[in-house]
Amino acid sequence: MQPDRKPYTVQTPVYAGPLDLLLSLIEHAQLDITTVSLGSVTDQFLEYLAGLEQHHPDEISDFLVVAAKLLQIKSEALLPRQPEREPGEEDVGESLVEQLRLYRRFKQVGALLMQRQAAGLRTHIRVAPPPKVERRLDLSNLVLGDLREAAERAFARQTEKQALGTVIAAPRITILEKLQLINRTLNQVRRASFKGLLSGTPSRLEIVVTFLALLELIKRYRVSVTQQGMFSDIQIERASDWSDEGEVELEFE
């Protein structure tokens, strides 16, 4: 019976994953990150993976991907001749080596930042040169008199404004008013157009409210509408059971 293996733990509180395990195995074996070292630690990686099988599959999916790459690397190393790859085909070994080197570099930088944080050193030297800002406006020949003249010309073009105490109320158009308008119109004629229900220069508010009133009548089966093409005028026709009894009661205005 095998003794209980100590669960693998990662030294960083930020991330725990297959690259941590793989990098740890290589560093403990005192190997450089190469394709050969990846093949030599494959069995140890699979041993750790076997101890993780009791967890949910989603938790070890990334480990399985790396394990598959390690098995491919080790199997290719056992071949008497290295396999020839197609142009543009990824070399799994070189890709994983580069990924490990980059990951180790990030861990080293992260450890350095953690040390500085623990030591209270929260400032860092600026390594990159300051960005170059392109000058978009040439003010070298501009004097104060030119600015004053430009301001006077701009203020002179302003139209007369109303006093701040004057309040302009927005026009109030209700759905009920437009429902009554459509009813009166269809009481006189059997068919009407949507544009004919609007004033000469309708505002966006009037158009929207009129359209909502039309939708309300359609929902109540009081009218039927047709439109020949996109953005063309909407033709409105009263329903066969139309009644000219008058007002349409609404629970809103």
57-90 confidence digits (pLDDT tens): 666 777 788 888 888 887 877 777 777 767 766 7
Mean pLDDT value across the chain: 77
Question: Angle CA(112)–CA(118)–CA(124) in degrees, nearest 5?
Answer: 55
Query: Any alpha helices (H) in 119-190, and if so which ranges?
Result: 144-156, 175-188
pLDDT at residue 2 in the model = 43
- Select the more confidently predicted residue: 176 or 19: 176
**Cα 161 to Cα 223: distance, rounded to the nearest angstrom:** 46
pLDDT > 90: percent of the chain: 2
Higher pLDDT, residue 194 or 128: 194
Closest to 252 measured CA to CA, from 170, 194, 171, 178: 178
Q: Provide mean pLDDT across the span 11-38.
A: 71
Q: Grade residue 142 by pLDDT with cuts at 50, 70 and 90.
A: confident
Instruction: State the pLDDT at residue 112.
Output: 86
Domains and CATH numbers, the chain: 18-79+92-118 (no CATH), 175-238 (1.10.10.580)
DSSP-assigned letter for residue 229: S
Q: Bridge partners of 238?
A: 223
Q: Look at residue 224 and tell me whether its pLDDT is greater than 70.
A: yes
Residue that wins the pLDDT comparison between 23 and 53:
23
Q: What percent of the chain has pLDDT over 70?
A: 79
What is the per-residue pLDDT for 11?
40
